[in-house]
Structure formats: structure tokens, C-alpha cells
Amino acid sequence: MILFLKNLLFTVLIPGTVGVYIPLWLVGGWRGAPARAWLLAAPLLLAGAFVYFWCLWNFAVTGRGTPAPIDPPKKLIVRGPHKYVRNPMYLGVLSVVSGWAVLFRSTDILVYGACVALLFHLVVLVVEEPSLRRLFGAEYEEYCRSVRRWIPTLPRHAK
């Protein structure tokens, strides 16, 4: 139950802020959008949320941790979306941000999304990957050789 609450709190505070609160603030709050815009935006919003929550489930159930750096998984997650790309949670959040940009036809949200993508990349390179190397060692190195950082592909087997 505590693990569920920690994951819920993290989701509301961090991805919720980055993927929902800030994009809506950039367009001046929630406002109606034409049905045609929803047809284009809904797949991005739903796919991003689905990927994020699938990964969150794996972090809690398989890894017994959270996406928060202060309470990381105890086991390296290499299943679900992580089988195809190393950073699916970030891609899920970026998909949601892209969905808002499409829905509201907002270049402000699009620029914000590009800045968020750059920030995610820097965090992965400077903080997360070194931390995962220390935490999981050779297992993480093997994972890096077989799964790409940002572009989903079928798993490659390292030689």
C-alpha cells in the first residue's frame, strides 16, 4: 500500500506537472477543442498515458520501487516497454505533451516539449545512466548493448 502511495504521489507531482499542468497553463487552462483535434490528439495522449502507467506498474510490481531517484527499483526493469526502449516513461510523457500541442494547436507547448525532451536527455546521460551502472553493473551494461536509449526497436542481442 505504501509503495502504491509513493508511486501515486510521484506521478501527480512530477509527470503530472511536466505532462499536464504546465502544458495546460501554457494555453491558459482547459478550453474546448474541436472534435477533429481530439481525433488527432487522443492517440498521442492515450498512448503516452498507457506507456507511462504500464512502466509505473512494472517499477512497483517487478522492481519494488518507484521512478523517483530517492526510491529506485530494487531490480532492473527489462520487461514491458523497457524491452524495446530504455526510457519509455519519458517517451510516454513526451507523447502526452505532443498530444496537448496537437489538441490546442499550440507552438508554445511544442517548444516546451522540445525543451523537456532535451532536459530528459541530459538527466538520462548525467544522472540516470551513471546511477544505473553503479546499481546494476554488468546487467545494465548488457541491457544498454541490447536496447536503444530513445528509439524503440526489437531487442538486439549483445555479442
**Please, where are the H alpha helices in the chain?**
2-13, 15-16, 22-26, 35-61, 88-104, 107-123, 129-136, 138-146
Low-confidence ranges of the chain (pLDDT < 70): 155-159
The CATH label, of 1.20.120.1630, 2.60.120.260, 1.20.1600.10, 1.10.10.10, for the domain at 2-146 is 1.20.120.1630
What is the C-alpha separation between 112 and 131, in angstroms, rounded?
27
What is the C-alpha separation between 145 and 51, in angstroms, rounded?
22
What is the C-alpha separation between 22 and 75, in angstroms, rounded?
32
The one-character DSSP state at 143 is H
pLDDT recorded at residue 54 = 97
pLDDT recorded at residue 155 = 67
What is the C-alpha separation between 137 and 129, in angstroms, rounded?
11
pLDDT recorded at residue 132 = 93
pLDDT recorded at residue 157 = 58
- What's the pTM? 0.92
pLDDT recorded at residue 123 = 96
Contact yes or no for 89/156 (Cβ under 8 A):
no
Rounded to the nearest 10°, the torsion over CA 46, 11, 118, 85 is -60
